[in-house]
Chains A and B, each alone.
Chain A
Amino acid sequence: NAGVTQTPKFQVLKTGQSMTLQCAQDMNHNSMYWYRQDPGMGLRLIYYSASEGTTDKGEVPNGYNVSRLNKREFSLRLESAAPSQTSVYFCASSDRDYYGYTFGSGTRLTVV
């Protein structure tokens, strides 16, 4: 049982490049989330999807887009990367609101 799988684990982008971070869960959870983590800032919500076919903005959505491809997969896209998007990105899923999130191992992204 893999839980939440994120790819890639590491990525270096040049300013202006685009990329998609992939996330998949095998726990049949309805809700999925994308967070970013910066030193001293905790985890900040970028976007979330409460169910297949729905997505909503979180605290810091600017510069990102998401797609809930199906119940298992939730991707995060950076259309034009900026150095301010250098961060560690975590995907999470849950089967209950506010309770027991399972996180992936993270994607460490550097934008130069």
Chain B
Amino acid sequence: GQSLEQPSEVTAVEGAIVQINCTYQTSGFYGLSWYQQHDGGAPTFLSYNALDGLEETGRFSSFLSRSDSYGYLLLQELQMKDSASYFCAVGSQGNLIFGKGTKLSVKP
């Protein structure tokens, strides 16, 4: 079967660093993506890792280890506007399979 596991909720304070982990089990693997979704909004693309290692985009970084079927999203210098749900997604069999999402709450 295919499955992605990520924590359901994470809480952090403004200015801190938070890491959201994702483990996956899929038939075929074509990269790990991360999406952000604010309440009532649409998912928006954040990052994509096709190969092992770290990708950095501003305050956000994403990491992939294909041998461990594991990745994470790292958010630095947290801001209140980062409060949202974050979804990992794996490319498999022609499309994206999404995890159930991690709700990040940033406190002042």
> Which residue numbers of A lie inside 8 Å of B, CB to CB?
33, 35, 40-45, 48, 50, 56, 58-59, 90, 97-106
B101 touches A (CB below 8 Å): yes
B95 touches A33 (CB 8 A): yes
Beta-carbon nearest neighbor of A43 in chain B: B98
Q: Mark B64-108, 1 if CB is under 8 A from A, else 0.
A: 000000000000000000000001010100111111110000000
Given contacts A97-B30, A101-B45, A103-B42, contact A42 B100 (CB under 8 A): yes
A99 touches B33 (CB 8 A): yes
Q: How many chain B residues touch the partner (CB < 8 A)?
A: 22
Residue of B8, B42, B43, B89 ringed by the most chain A CB atoms within 10 A: B42
Complex Cα–Cα for A105 and B99 (A): 20
Question: In angstroms, how far is the closest chain A Cβ from the Cβ of B100?
Answer: 4
Complex Cα–Cα for A102 and B44 (A): 7
B43 touches A99 (CB 8 A): no
Beta-carbon nearest neighbor of A100 in chain B: B45
Complex Cα–Cα for A59 and B43 (A): 19
B101 touches A42 (CB 8 A): yes
